Amino acid sequence: MTSSNVSEKFVWGSELEGRGVMTTFDTMVGVSIWALTISAVVIGILNLCVIKKLTIFHNSFGAFWVSRTIGEIGSNIVHVLYSAPVTVLQPKDIPPTFGVTIFMIGYFFASESCIMHQFVSANRMLAVCAPLKYDSLFNRKVTRNCIIFAWSAVTVLMSLYIVVPCQMIGYTHIGWNIVAFDSIIVTHVNNGLALILFNPEVRRLFRGKSKTVTNSVEPFADQTTVCPPPQEA
């Protein structure tokens, strides 16, 4: 009886290069990666422009969003320039070290965006659940330290891929990876669209009707709050 799990000699870094033969399925997957990642990059850059333009985002929430968006843009640029063309063209002469380096760059930015997303979520939760404590929880110093922590933590994480033999580069079932990979990219697109679609001030900006919105104090001062103070009756 022939076993279906035939052992083959493993070549280090071979997962990150093509098979040397193009198929219609490869083209479909590669084009979908291109479409999604280009959209994610464009929408991410648009987010950065919106945050720079509108002073309502010159606070801890805006700073967290910028840091996360930079991570998403960096990750998706790697997919635009490497993952998509390799998937479509299936080149087999890619040096293993080059492929692994590209993988680590993409994973570095993707991991940073994931860490920063937790800070964005915590920021929004506390703005709603503890608005009176928001100023002390998310002042300029705390915001800066959170961002520094995110980039430092992911740097330490990626360094482990160099010193620890067991890595995550190897792939599992092809169907699972395609779904998981595209789901992550769709999430990046969704994150970028969230700021544009659900904020009325951003919508007014694109309609040419935006007004400069500021709080009663300078943006991002220690006492700045995303939620306006309650009005006296």
Q: Is residue 231 part of a domain?
A: no
**Per-residue pLDDT, 183:** 56
Q: Is residue 43 part of a domain?
A: yes
> Token pair 């700073």 is at which residue?
63
CA–CA dist 40, 79 (Å, integer): 11
**Per-residue pLDDT, 210:** 56
| CATH code for the domain of 123 | 1.20.1070.10
Q: Show the domain range for 90.
A: 19-206
Q: How many residues does the chain have?
A: 233
> Token pair 């998981």 is at which residue?
180
| Tally of domains in the chain | 1
CA–CA dist 54, 201 (Å, integer): 8
**Per-residue pLDDT, 97:** 81
List C-alpha distances in Å: 22 to 26, 79, 150, 209.
6, 18, 39, 50
**Per-residue pLDDT, 107:** 86
**Per-residue pLDDT, 62:** 93
Q: Is residue 115 part of a domain?
A: yes
Report the number of secondary-structure helices (H) and strands (E) in the chain: 8, 0
Q: Is residue 225 part of a domain?
A: no
**Per-residue pLDDT, 31:** 93
**Per-residue pLDDT, 121:** 87
Cα end-to-end distance, the chain, whole Å: 84
**Per-residue pLDDT, 148:** 97
Q: Is residue 125 part of a domain?
A: yes
To the question of pTM greater than 0.75 for the whole model, the response is no
Q: Is residue 232 part of a domain?
A: no
**Per-residue pLDDT, 225:** 42
Q: Is residue 219 part of a domain?
A: no
Q: Is residue 227 part of a domain?
A: no
pLDDT tens per residue across all 233 residues of the chain: 444 444 456 565 666 667 778 889 889 988 999 999 999 999 999 999 999 998 989 999 999 999 999 999 999 999 999 989 988 988 888 887 888 788 889 889 998 998 898 899 888 888 888 888 888 889 999 999 999 999 999 998 888 777 765 555 554 444 445 444 555 666 667 666 666 665 666 767 767 765 554 443 345 544 444 444 444 44
**Per-residue pLDDT, 166:** 53
